[in-house]
Chains A and B, each alone.
Chain A
Amino acid sequence: MSTTVAERRIAVAAQRKHSLHRSRMWALWGSYIALSVFVVMFLVPPFYTLMTSLKSSAEISAQTGSPWLVRHPTLENFWYLITYPNFQRYYLNSIIVTILTVAVSMVISVLAAFSLSRMGFWGSQTLSTGVFLTYLVPPSLLFIPLFQIIGQLGLINNFWCLVLLYPTLAVPFCTWIMIGYFSSIPKELDEAALIDGAGYLQMLWKIFIPVAMPGIIAATIFAFTVSWGAFLYPLAYLYTSNQMVLTVGIISDLIRGDVFQWGKIMAACLLASLPPIVIYAFLMDYYVAGLTAGATKG
């Protein structure tokens, strides 16, 4: 899709006058330069994380020369983490929690979005505007009262509580994207389906979901990002290492009181960032395309 736009633009550019072409070239190079500046600024912390993760504790505390470079690169931090049972546990927990959260969130939000964009019922208008307002009550307000609710459910210090709580962070946004996406599907399509004898769920399954795939992928990625990186809920409700997820596990386990094992912390940051980076790298185009179609209609 983007290539056709580019081709068209190039074709249009070719038809224009020479001076116009040259000013376009300038704009193009200007954009590249400006983007490079931003890229450098944005990547300073990750770069520093990488450098620190390759240092030994002794090199970090020695403070000779530039902290931005590593003189005796070592993989000991990574090796330590990979073979460290607690860290493996956090990673596994994070994966389980995230997969379940994403699944739950997507089922809830696709069903709701389908219903809200196609089937009016009493209060459905309010609900579709209101669902976004859920964010008005953020986790930092809810974590205190939730102590009792989670406690009554018997889920204190149990990562399953996150599978219940994380969807509240992802669902409103996902629903909103999906409402936008579903609304952009022509009404004629479902009328035709109904006349063909398809039920609503069949219609959702056979027509809406395939057509709205980019939107679903965008929403999935959003849900993934949120549940992979959430911090306050696991900080509040999980406290033993067999239940912790990565974000809170790294902070509680690798910082021993007033002792920071920076090399290991940084290596852990990198390892923890790996899954989102891989996912974004592969699904980026869908993400943008899905947001384009879904969000802009909202």
Chain B
Amino acid sequence: MADGTSVPIDVIAPGQVRARRNTMQRFAQRRSTTGFFLCLPLILLIAAFVIYPAFYAIYLSMLNKKMTAFVGLGNFQFLLKRHTFQLVIFQSCLFAVTSVVLKAVIGFILAHLMHNIPGKNQRIWRGLLLVPWVIPLALSTLTWWWMFDPSYSAFNWVLNQFGIDNVPWLGVGWTARFCTIAVNVWYGTPFFMIMYLAALKSVPEQLYEAAAIDGANTIQKLFFVTLPMMRNIIAITVLFSLIVTFADFDIVRILTAGGPQDMTHVFATYAFQIGIQSGDIPLGAADSLFMFPILAFAAFFVLRGVTRRTKEIAA
């Protein structure tokens, strides 16, 4: 803080060119020191509670079940050979990709519909549509679970009114997968909507007017004005959501706990089952570490695109 206040005096300090360059250098140095200190809490937080435990997880994942011997990549090899784990990889990808695509598409549609209606009416609609995102996920998932319950399913009651037989919502593999994805989409779409709405609002109206003068129709406007302007925000939102969805624990854990017959397990719930329930912590750690390369791969491409575009805009 002393640094900060003393800087201006240095700036005003008079003198020759040489001294001035010195001051400038010192100024720059002080500035970067201050900058570093301002970032320090962030760095410490991330280092202590994300990076260190992440490395610790890597260490754990290389131990044997009783955590007495080092087995290198043995756990990873072992997991990859298990059919159940191959199923988990497939399901995690299916769950995350399908959910994110659906969330992105529905969120995009909703943002557009919302953008269409006059501003003063938007508040109430936005409010209503944000409700799923606002309720704590663990609790709303309980409601869903209750609605899917075999004996008391409220959905089945509706189906029965139309003369349709009971559907075992969480009882059959693909139906259960569908249900977990549906709950995720229900929960996550409002976030996409609000982010896209924010992006839509920042697209200058003149661009549309110019496009209209050029004779562009609605679809052309969408593809040549809206989408390019929203590219970055779409990329970032998709990445963020992909990560969160990939790592999801709450929905699958509460809704199906991985069943039926492991057909809805994702990395996080499977790690919980083998790591905590079956007391094989190293194997659980190894399982959850599989998330990392997949996500890092996605992040690399998304962020590379974003920085490139940001540079284009800046240039």
| A273 touching B246, Cβ below 8 Å | no
Return chain A residues, CB-CB under 8 Å to B135.
46, 229, 269, 272-273, 276-277
Q: Does B73 contact A (CB under 8 A)?
A: no
| A198 touching B131, Cβ below 8 Å | no
| B288 touching A141, Cβ below 8 Å | yes
| A140 touching B11, Cβ below 8 Å | no
User: On chain A, which size bracket covers the interface?
Assistant: 35 or more
Given contacts A133-B299, A137-B292, contact A121 B4 (CB under 8 A): no
- Chain B 19-38 against A: per-residue CB contact (8 Å), 1 yes, 0 no? 00000000000011111101
| A199 touching B1, Cβ below 8 Å | yes
| B57 touching A142, Cβ below 8 Å | yes
| B125 touching A39, Cβ below 8 Å | yes
Return chain A residues, CB-CB under 8 Å to B15.
none
| A288 touching B198, Cβ below 8 Å | yes
Q: How far is the CB of B164 from chain A (nearest CB, A)?
A: 16
- Chain A 108-132 against B: per-residue CB contact (8 Å), 1 yes, 0 no? 1101101110111110100101011
Which of B278-294 touch A at CB < 8 Å? 281, 284-285, 288-289, 291-292
Given contacts A48-B154, A124-B39, A232-B249, contact A8 B205 (CB under 8 A): yes
Q: Which residue in B32, B110, B130, B249 is a CB contact (below 8 Å) of A120?
A: B32
Return chain A residues, CB-CB under 8 Å to B136.
228-229, 231, 246-247, 269, 272-273, 276
Q: Which residue in B32, B137, B271 is a CB contact (below 8 Å) of A119?
A: B32
| A265 touching B142, Cβ below 8 Å | yes
Report the nearest B residue to A33, measured CB to CB: B113
CA A201 – CA B5 in complex, angstroms? 8
Q: Does A2 contact B (CB under 8 A)?
A: yes
> What are 8 residue pairs bridging A and B, where the CB atoms are less than 8 Å apart in the complex?
A35-B113, A45-B144, A52-B146, A108-B42, A136-B299, A137-B54, A140-B291, A141-B54
The chain B residues found within 8 Å of chain A, CB to CB, are: 1, 3-8, 11, 31-36, 38-39, 41-43, 45-46, 48-54, 56-57, 60, 106, 109-110, 113-114, 116-120, 122-123, 125-140, 142-144, 146-147, 151-152, 154, 157-158, 186, 189-190, 194-195, 197-199, 201-202, 205, 232-233, 236, 240, 243-244, 246-250, 254, 267-268, 271-272, 275-276, 281, 284-285, 288-289, 291-292, 295-296, 299, 303, 306-307
Please name the 9 residue pairs, one residue from A and one from B, whose CB atoms are nearest each other, closest first.
A119-B35, A2-B119, A138-B247, A140-B268, A199-B4, A121-B32, A229-B136, A115-B38, A291-B198
Given A119-B38, A135-B243, 16 new contacts (CB under 8 A): A42-B131, A114-B38, A133-B296, A134-B46, A136-B292, A145-B53, A145-B57, A164-B49, A200-B7, A201-B1, A202-B5, A251-B254, A293-B202, A295-B236, A296-B202, A296-B232
The chain A residues found within 8 Å of chain B, CB to CB, are: 2-3, 5-6, 8-10, 27-28, 31-32, 34-35, 38-39, 41-43, 45-46, 48-49, 52, 60, 63, 66-68, 107-109, 111-112, 114-116, 118-122, 124, 127, 129, 131-142, 144-146, 148-149, 164-165, 167-168, 171-173, 175-176, 194-195, 197-202, 225, 228-229, 231-232, 246-248, 250-251, 260, 262, 265-266, 268-269, 272-273, 276-277, 280-281, 284-285, 287-288, 291-293, 295-296, 298
